[in-house]
């Protein structure tokens, strides 16, 4: 988790949660389209 924070330049856990949600939506959308 700390490595991800440093790589993305993320300070707050809220941003991590948002990114996880976006990835989950993109993944399910791609699977649905395919």
Give pLDDT tens digits for 13-28.
Answer: 788 788 889 999 998 8
Would you say 10 and 2 are in contact if contact means Cβ atoms under 8 Å apart? no
**Computed from CA positions of residues 10, 14, 18, 24, in that sequence, does the dihedral angle turn out positive or negative?**
positive
Mean pLDDT of 1-14: 74
Whether residue 8 has pLDDT greater than 90: no
Q: What average pLDDT does the chain have?
A: 82
Return the residue matching tokens 């949660």. 17
Spatial separation of the C-alpha atoms in residues 19 and 11, rounded to whole Å: 13
For the entire predicted model, the pTM comes to 0.49
């Amino acid at each position: 988790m700390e490595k991800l924070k440093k790589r993305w330049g993320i300070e707050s856990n809220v941003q991590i949660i948002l990114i996880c949600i976006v990835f989950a939506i993109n993944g399910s959308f791609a699977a649905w389209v395919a």
